[in-house]
A and B are shown apart, each in its own frame.
Chain A
Amino acid sequence: MRFFKSLSSMTTGLVLLALVGAAAAIGSSLWPEYFFRSWPFRLLLALLLINMVLCTINTSGRFFRRRARISRDWRLLLRSLGLVALHAGIIFILVGASLYSWLGHSVQLSIREGDTVQIESILPVSKPFALKLDKFYIEFHHDGSPAQYYADLQVLEGDRTALEKTIKVNYPLVYNGVKFYQSSYGYLTEVLVRDGEETPRTLLAQDGDFIPFDNTGRTLKVFRYIPDFDPEAGMAARSDEPLNPRVIYSVYEDEVLLGIGAAPFGEAISIDDGVFIEFQRACPYTVLTVKTDPGLPLVAAGGLFTMLGVCLILFGPSGRKKEV
C-alpha cells in the first residue's frame, strides 16, 4: 500500500520526469545510437507512465469529487478538463509508441522502375498485395536544387490494379494499414559489354560495382554516375539535374589501376584488344520507407488530446483564488 502510494505520488512523478530529462540529455550526447532503446531508459518511461496514470486519476478524481460541486466556475472546469486531456494525451502517446516498438515494422525498400515487390515478403501484413513502381522522377528549382521527388506507384492485388497513386515527399501512400514514404533514390548504370565473339550482353551496375571480363585480365569499376558533371569539381556533381551526365569509371589489371575516365552515355570505350563497353543509360530506383504501426491511431488521439488539453488550460483561470 505504501509502495502504491509513493508510486502514485506527484513527487515521485516529478522526480521521474526530471530523471527522464537528465537521462535524455546525457544519453543523447554519449550514446545517441542506442540509449533510447536500452532497457534502463524504457524502464524509466514505463515507471513514469504508471505514475502518470495513477496520479492523474487521483488528482482529477479528487478535483471532480470536491471542487466542482462547490464551485460552478466553468473556467475552472475547463481548466481541469484540459489538465486531464493533456495528461491522458501523453499517456496515450507513450502506450501507442510502445505498441509500435512491439508490433510495428519499418523497412527501407529499393525498387527499380518497372519492378514489382510483394509486400508480404518484406513485412507482415494482414492481406497480401504487391507494389509496382511505374516511374521515378525529380523536379528541379531554377537554381538546380531538387524541388520534389515523385514516385508513380501501383498497388496490385493479384493481377488487378487496386490503386494508382503518385507519392512525393510529405505525401505518402496508405494502403491496408501499410504506409509508403518517398525516402531516397539512386541510379543503376546500364552497361553494354562486347567481349569476344559472343553477342553483346547488358549489365546493371550499382555505383562501386566491378565488372570482370572473361578473355582478359582487366576489370572495370563503375565508380559513380554523376548527373551534372563538372571537370573542375571532379566527383562532386554540380546539381542533381541530368544536364551533363557522365559515368566515372576506372580500369584495373591485376589490381593495378590503369586509368580513370568520365564517359558520356553511348560512347564505346575500349578496355583491351577486342573488349569494348558502352554506358547506355542511368536507370533510376527509388527508396521507400514502408511502415506498419498499430499504435499510430492511439498516438494520434494522444496528440489531439494533448493539443486540446493545453488550449483548454490557456482559457482557464491561471491562479487559485487565494493567490494575489
Chain B
Amino acid sequence: MKTNVSPRMLILCLDDEPAVLDALVRDLAPFEDYFQIETVSTIAEARQQLESATQEGGQLALALCDHLLQGETGTDFLVNLHQEPAHASARKVLITAQAGLGDTIRALNHARLDYYIAKPWEPEALRAVVRDQLTTYVVKMNINPLPFLPILDRAQLSEAILQKNLMTDA
C-alpha cells in the first residue's frame, strides 16, 4: 500500500504590522510541521509568494488577511483571489479590527469569506478556526487526509474517509 504525498500547502498571513504577523506565526506554530506558513505585508508581496509557491507545486489552503493595509485593503485581495481558479477554493479568513459593514458584506458576497476574526484574538480560538478551515479544505479538495490526522480534526477527516470511500482494503 502506498499513500500519496500531498503537495505543499500554504497558509498565507497578510498584515502590514510586523507585530501582528509575529503573533500569528507564534499562535499557529503547531501547524508548522504540516503546512507552510508565509507572512507578507503587502498585496504585491502576497502575489509574489503565491506565484513562487504555485510554481513549486504548492497550493494555497488558507489566507488570513487584515482588512486595512497601507493604501489597499485585504478584502480586495480576497475578492481577487476568489476570481482566480487556482485559488478560488482556498479558505479565506478576515482578521481585523476596522472593517466596516460595507467591506464585510463585500467580503462575504464576493470573496465567499469563510470566517471573520475580530482583533485582538484568543490564541486558542484562532487555532480552532484555523484547524476547522484547514480540515474543510482537505475534505473538500479530496486531499489524502492521513498526513493531517494528527493536527486537524480527526473525527471529521475519518468521516470523510468513510463517506467518500477515500481508502480501500487491498
Decide whether A and B assemble into one complex. Answer: no
Report B's interface with A, CB cutoff 8 A: none
Report A's interface with B, CB cutoff 8 A: none
